[in-house]
Amino acid sequence: MAALINVPAKAKRGDVIEIRTLTSHIMETGFRHTADGRLVPRDIITSFTCRYNGTEIFRADLFPAIAANPYLSFFTVAKESGKFEFEWTGDNGYSSTASASITVE
Amino acid sequence: MNFWRAIAVATLLAAAPALLAGEIAPEARRSGYAFMGPDTRAMQDDDTSNPGMLFVLDGETLWTKKTGSAEKACADCHGDARGSMQGVAARYPAFDKTQGRPVTLDQRINLCRANHQQATPLPYESRDLLALSAFVAHQSRGVAITAGEDPQVKPFVEQGRDLFMQREGQLNLACTNCHDDNFDKHLAGAPITQGQPTGYPLYRLEWQTLGSLERRLRSCMSGVRAQAYDYGAPELVALELFLMSRARGLPMETPAVRP
């Protein structure tokens, strides 16, 4: 699915940088019913992880009360040039990945 | 005395050219953006936090994807949308010669699918149709709205104006009662806007998805307890056309974010 990632392209070593992620997902709560009374099954993202050059630096568990197209923002320290890898996993075997690179001077 | 009163009335009438009663003067027109709080504005302004951009990305993929029995993509005829589609959405709904009436951007996309791609039409409010129209309209971001200038659509603008002024539903309200006469006030805590359709299709936090102007109009109609027109109905297209011509000069914002 489509994802929008905002990682600064360049940073100074030791800088605190903000990472912003937005991904497409309906986040169906599992609590809603159709007009004829049947339960709409839950379909949400349950976990998000961010790896910085292979090391996990951020993880979040997501729950039914989180709105569609979840937006997550967090901070880290720019240590070395390399790659951020993002992964969203969820119900019905849902999995989506994205990545972004950074140059640290 | 009556003589002077007549002169005063004549002067007032002469000073207000082309504006009908209750209409908003061009310099007083404001996008719904101006009525939102700082958080929602920030969400719209940053392309990596604007959820509407997810649909624009999907639309970009669909633009170059071959479809239908003609095995053609939008890009095969129109090339790079960044050039070919710039400013297009700002003049929609636009007159279609074969139909003999104005069509919306969504309808234009489906006409293209039927005539040039030999593909089935995409249902109204389906993800693919919203994504394509968001992608096309995004190419007009910042372009001033010019819809309604074509002389062929004038009668339809008038039809739209009549619908806008006509009271309907159990609450017996016309669009104009809120959006011309009472904007800047509040309705159950939410600001009443001027109803300027500058950013469609737009992402409503309430819908948690992108939606078309027709969806917005239909929810206003159920709001006043009226029977909403079906998607694609000539009345909705005429209303849409009137609203766009009423917003003439305002810049396009697609994809906008609204509460």
The answer to whether the Cβ–Cβ distance between A4 and B205 falls below 8 Å is no
Residues 6+ apart with CB under 8 A from A23: A1, A2, A3, A4, A45, A69, A70, A88, A96, A98, B54
Residue B76 lies in a domain: yes
Range of the domain at B234: 30-259
- B10 within domain boundaries: no
In this prediction, residues B194-221 reach a mean pLDDT of 96
Assigned domain for B67 exists: yes
What is the mean pLDDT of the segment spanning B101-114?
96
Contact residues on chain B for A3, CB-CB shorter than 8 A: 54
State how far residue A62 is from chain B, nearest Cα, in angstroms: 17
- First-residue to last-residue Cα distance in chain A: 32
ipTM over cut 0.90: no
The stretches in chain A having pLDDT less than 70 are: 1
Contact A27 B208 (CB under 8 A): yes
Say whether pLDDT at B9 is over 70: no
Exposure on the CB side of residue B2, measured as CA atoms within 13 A = 0
Query: For B9-26, what is the mean pLDDT?
Result: 60
Q: What is the pTM of this model?
A: 0.89
Q: Give the pLDDT of residue B21.
A: 59
Q: Averaged over B111-121, what is the pLDDT? A: 95
Which tens digit of pLDDT belongs to each residue from B45-75?
A: 999 999 999 999 999 999 999 999 999 999 9
**Res B17: pLDDT:** 46
Please tell me the predicted confidence (pLDDT) of residue B16.
47
Domains of chain A with bracketed CATH: 3-104 (2.60.40.10)
The answer to whether residue A69 neighbours chain B at the CB level (below 8 Å) is yes
Chain B interface disruption, residue of A17, A20, A24, most B CBs within 10 A: A24
What pLDDT score was predicted for residue A2? Answer: 84
Q: Quick check: B208 and A3 CB within 8 A? A: no
Beta bridge partners of A97: A87
pLDDT of residue B8: 56
Helical (H) or strand (E) element with B101: strand B101-103
Q: Which residues pair with A14 in a beta bridge?
A: none
Nearest Cα of chain A lies from the Cα of B39 at a distance, in angstroms, of 14
Mind listing the pLDDT tens digit for each residue in B69-103?
Answer: 999 999 999 999 999 999 999 999 999 999 999 99
Q: Is a pLDDT exceeding 70 seen at residue B3?
A: no
What is the CATH classification number for the domain harbouring B40? 1.10.760.10
Give CA separation, B166 vs B161, B162, B174, B215, B218, in Å: 9, 6, 5, 19, 15
Count of domains forming chain B: 1
Tell me the percentage of chain B whose pLDDT exceeds 90.
88
